[in-house]
C-alpha cells in the first residue's frame, strides 16, 4: 500500500531531479539516481542510455553552469505500487541565458524505486512534443 | 523476488502488445492492458493519453486492418521489482502496405503490473528517434 507520505516523497525526488537539471548541478543529480547498470535515461530524441555511468557522463557532457534553465512541470501524475513509483509529467524547459531564448516541451515518464535511503530514480524517459517545440525571442517573453 | 518465469511472462505480454499493434487487432490489444484511469499511453510525438477509455479510442481511430505493420524489437531489457515490471526497447515499425513503405523507429518504455490474471501493461511511452526516421521505397527494401 502506498501512503500520502510516499506520494510526497516521490514528488520531492522528482522535483529535485528537475532542480538539478535546471541548475546544471551534477552533485544534486547524484542524490537522485539508482547508481547501477539497471538505470536508464532517454534524452529527448535519443535512444536509451543504459547504466548510471553512461547517464552521469551525459550530464557531465551537457551541463554548463552558465546555461541555466527555468523548468515548469504540468500534468504531473504519480502512481505507486509496492516499492515502485512512476511519475508522468509534461516538462517545459526554457534556456533563459540563450539568445534567442529556447523552449523545449517534452512528455516524461520517471520511474522510482524505494531504497533504504528513500525513493531513487531508476529511469527517466523524455520525448519531444514537436508541435510545441519552438524558439521565442526574449522580447516575446516580456 | 522476480523469477525467470516472471521475465518470460512479462516479455510474452510485451510481444503480444506489438503483435496487436502490427496486426491492427483491437481485441488482442484488449487482453494486454490494465483497464482503469491509471493507464497511460504516449504515442510518438504526443502528450500522454490518460485512462484506458482514451487509449482504446486512440487505437480504434488509427487501426486500419489494411494497414499491416512489420515490427522488429531491438535492445529489449526487462527489469522487475515486486509486482511491477518495465521493459525498454527500440521498436522498428514498417508500414508494409504503404507506397512508399514507411519506417518509424522509436524508443519505448512499457510498464506492467502483476494482476490475478497475469502481467498487464499500465503504461506505454514511445518516442521518435528522428535521426533514423525516414521513408524508404519498396525497391530499396528488395
Among candidates B102, B101, B105, which has minimal Cα distance to B139?
Answer: B101
Alpha carbon distances (Å) from A140 to A71, A91, A133, B41, B77 = 18, 20, 15, 33, 44
Q: What is the mean pLDDT of residues A36-51?
A: 95
Q: Could A109 and B123 be called an inter-chain contact, meaning their C-beta atoms sit closer than 8 Å?
A: yes
Looking at residue A131, its pLDDT comes to 52
- Is residue A90 within 8 A of residue A74, CB to CB? The reply is yes
DSSP per-residue codes, B111-123: EEEEETTEEEEEE
Looking at residue A3, its pLDDT comes to 80
Residues of chain B with pLDDT > 90: what percent?
75
Split at pLDDT 50, 70, 90, the class of B102 is confident
Q: Could A40 and B81 be called an inter-chain contact, meaning their C-beta atoms sit closer than 8 Å?
A: no
Q: Could B77 and A50 be called an inter-chain contact, meaning their C-beta atoms sit closer than 8 Å?
A: yes
Q: What is the mean pLDDT of residues B26-32?
A: 97
The complex scores an ipTM of 0.90
Coil, strand or helix at B13: helix
Kindly tell me the burial class for residue A86, based on how many C-beta atoms sit within 10 Å of its own C-beta (0-12, 13-18, 19 or more). Answer: buried
Distance from CA of B34 to the nearest CA of A (A): 13
The DSSP bridge partners found for residue A47 are none
Cβ contacts of B76 on chain A, cutoff 8 Å = none
Nearest to B125 among A45, A90, A125 (CB): A125
Q: What is the mean pLDDT of residues A33-46?
A: 95
Q: Please tell me the distance from the alpha carbon of residue A23 to that of residue A68, in angstroms, as a whole number.
A: 6
Is the CB of residue A82 less than 8 Å away from at least one CB of chain B? Answer: yes
Q: Could A122 and B45 be called an inter-chain contact, meaning their C-beta atoms sit closer than 8 Å?
A: no
Please determine, for residue B99, whether its predicted confidence score (pLDDT) is greater than 90.
no
Q: What is the pLDDT of residues A3-17, one digit of tens each?
A: 889 999 999 999 999
Q: What is the pLDDT of residues A85-129, one digit of tens each?
A: 999 999 999 999 888 888 889 999 999 999 999 999 999 999 998
Q: What is the mean pLDDT of residues B10-26?
A: 97
Amino acid at each position: 500500500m502506498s501512503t500520502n507520505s510516499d506520494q510526497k516523497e516521490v514528488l520531492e525526488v522528482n522535483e529535485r531531479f528537475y532542480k538539478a537539471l535546471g541548475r546544471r548541478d551534477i552533485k544534486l543529480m547524484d542524490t537522485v539516481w539508482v547508481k547501477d547498470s539497471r538505470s536508464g535515461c532517454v534524452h529527448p530524441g535519443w535512444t536509451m542510455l543504459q547504466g548510471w555511468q553512461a547517464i552521469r557522463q551525459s550530464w557531465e557532457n551537457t551541463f554548463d553552469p552558465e546555461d541555466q534553465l527555468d523548468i515548469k512541470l504540468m500534468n504531473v501524475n504519480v502512481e505507486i505500487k509496492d516499492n515502485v513509483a512512476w511519475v508522468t509529467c509534461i516538462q517545459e524547459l526554457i534556456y533563459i541565458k540563450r539568445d534567442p531564448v529556447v523552449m523545449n516541451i517534452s512528455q516524461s515518464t520517471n520511474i522510482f524505486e524505494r531504497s533504504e535511503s528513500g525513493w531513487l530514480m531508476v529511469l527517466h524517459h523524455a520525448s519531444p512534443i514537436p508541435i510545441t517545440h519552438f524558439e521565442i525571442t526574449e522580447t516575446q517573453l516580456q
